[in-house]
């Protein structure tokens, strides 16, 4: 079942058109990877899904993004939207505060004050990000004392804390070492049981390992969107094949 559908989605930065007629259906409880060369619009597309581009003044969006059938560009409260569609960025960006406070930050903004409820959210979110065992004895210590890989899982936990339906990830492992990268990758199978994950990756092997569906972007267009194994082993478009086989990058 599609939880997100984009309909003829165009996006312009001033006069530069960065997205061209994007029509993608993203299924619930799947991992969808967005691949393609640098500058082809992957991050821009990801940001259209929770209206993060609205923060950029010169941006103009046309077309629709339906979330559970409702256009998020109509009258949708952006704060409420970003609670339901969370985002994890390329570089781990924990707040300079304790592990505990990082996770309760969002829930507190949304009005949760009860200490017991907050404690539960912290435990559940850290478990959900496979970070509980490593942090349960140091919750009140600064998040900045964690390793890069732990920090990124903390950022995932922070996103989980507001109970989103969708998690957007923009190259979440590109700043991580191989061991931390595989920890984050291992999380995906668990995450998709409860959430829908849309992940930008420049690493094709990573898309192959974790994604159910893959969309290949080129110059602001989706060239091909299909089950990941079809994109890698039976691409229908010559441009997809050329990219997959490393003829350009
Ligand atoms: N904030 C911005 N202002 C103006 N142009 C931008 C901005 N962000 C991205 N672009 C342009 O949009 C295009 C797509 O960029 P981006 O979505 O970052 O691609 P990718 O994530 O695939 O590398 C590029 O031409 C880029 O220069
Ligand atoms: Mg990008």
* Cβ 18 under 6 angstroms from ligand 1: yes
- DSSP-derived secondary structure letter, 74: S
**What is the per-residue pLDDT for 22?**
98
**What is the per-residue pLDDT for 79?**
85
CB 215 within 8 A of CB 185: no
CB 24 within 8 A of CB 30: no
Which atom of ligand 1 is least distant from the CA of 44?
Answer: 17
**What is the per-residue pLDDT for 195?**
96
Collapsing DSSP states into helix, strand and coil, what is residue 227?
strand
CA–CA dist 27, 46 (Å, integer): 15
Tell me the Cα Rg of the chain: 18
Q: Which residues pair with 7 in a beta bridge?
A: 64
* pLDDT digits (tens), the chain, 249 positions: 899 999 999 999 999 999 999 999 999 999 999 999 999 999 999 999 999 998 899 999 999 999 999 999 997 888 889 999 999 999 999 999 999 999 999 999 989 999 999 999 999 999 999 999 999 999 999 999 999 999 999 999 999 999 999 999 999 999 888 998 998 999 998 999 999 999 999 899 999 999 999 999 999 999 999 999 999 999 999 999 999 998 876
Q: For the stretch 82-105, what's the b/e string if a residue is b when 16 or more beta carbons lie within 10 angstroms of its beta carbon?
A: bbbbbbbeeebebeeebbbbbbbe
**What's the gap in Å between 40 CA and the centre of ligand 1?**
7
Where is 193: in which H helix or E strand? helix 178-194
Ligand 1 pocket: which of 9, 14, 18, 203 to mutate (most atoms <8 Å of CB)? 18
**What is the per-residue pLDDT for 248?**
76
Retrieve residue 243's tokens. Answer: 């990219």
Retrieve residue 48's tokens. Answer: 């259209």
Q: How many CB atoms lie within 10 A of CB 142?
A: 15
* Cβ 15 under 6 angstroms from ligand 1: no
Pairing of the two strands 85-88 and 25-27: unpaired
Which atom of ligand 1 is least distant from the CA of 40?
Answer: 22
Residue that has been written with the tokens 């496979």 in this structure: 130
CB 40 within 8 A of CB 216: no
Q: In what order do the strands lie in the sheet with 221-227?
A: 85-88, 166-170, 196-200, 31-35, 213-218, 221-227
Which atom of ligand 1 is least distant from the CA of 38?
Answer: 23
Q: How many CB atoms lie within 10 A of CB 74?
A: 9
pTM for the model: 0.95
**What is the per-residue pLDDT for 196?**
97
Query: Which residues, other chains included, contact 29 with Cβ-Cβ below 8 Å and sequence gap of 6+?
Result: 192, 193, 194, 195, 196
* Cβ 59 under 6 angstroms from ligand 1: no
* Cβ 159 under 6 angstroms from ligand 1: no
**What is the per-residue pLDDT for 237?**
97
Where is 52: in which H helix or E strand? none
CA–CA dist 232, 221 (Å, integer): 18
Ligand 1 pocket: which of 11, 35, 37, 44 to mutate (most atoms <8 Å of CB)? 44
């Amino acid at each position: 079942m599609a939880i997100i559908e984009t309909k003829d989605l165009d996006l312009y930065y001033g006069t530069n058109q960065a997205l061209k007629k994007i029509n993608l259906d993203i299924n619930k409880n799947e991992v969808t990877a967005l691949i393609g060369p640098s500058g082809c619009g992957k991050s821009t597309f990801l940001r259209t899904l929770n209206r993060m581009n609205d923060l950029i003044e010169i941006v103009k969006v046309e077309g629709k993004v339906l979330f559970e059938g409702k256009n998020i560009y109509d009258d949708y409260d952006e704060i409420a939207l970003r609670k339901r569609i969370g985002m994890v960025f390329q570089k781990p960006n924990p707040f300079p505060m304790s592990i505990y406070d990082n996770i309760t930050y969002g829930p507190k903004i949304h009005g949760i004050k009860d200490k017991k409820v907050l404690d539960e959210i912290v435990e559940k979110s850290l478990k959900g990000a496979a970070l509980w065992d490593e942090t349960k004895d140091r919750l009140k210590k600064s998040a900045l004392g964690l390793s890069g890989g732990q920090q990124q899982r903390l950022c995932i936990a922070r996103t989980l804390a507001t109970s989103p339906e969708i998690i957007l990830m923009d190259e979440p492992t590109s700043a991580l070492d191989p061991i931390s990268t595989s920890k984050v990758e291992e999380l995906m199978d668990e995450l998709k049981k409860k959430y829908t994950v849309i992940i930008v990756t420049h690493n094709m092997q990573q898309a192959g390992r974790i994604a159910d569906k893959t969309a290949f972007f080129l110059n602001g267009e989706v060239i091909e969107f299909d089950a990941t194994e079809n994109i890698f082993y039976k691409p229908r478009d010559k441009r997809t094949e050329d990219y997959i086989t490393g003829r350009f990058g």
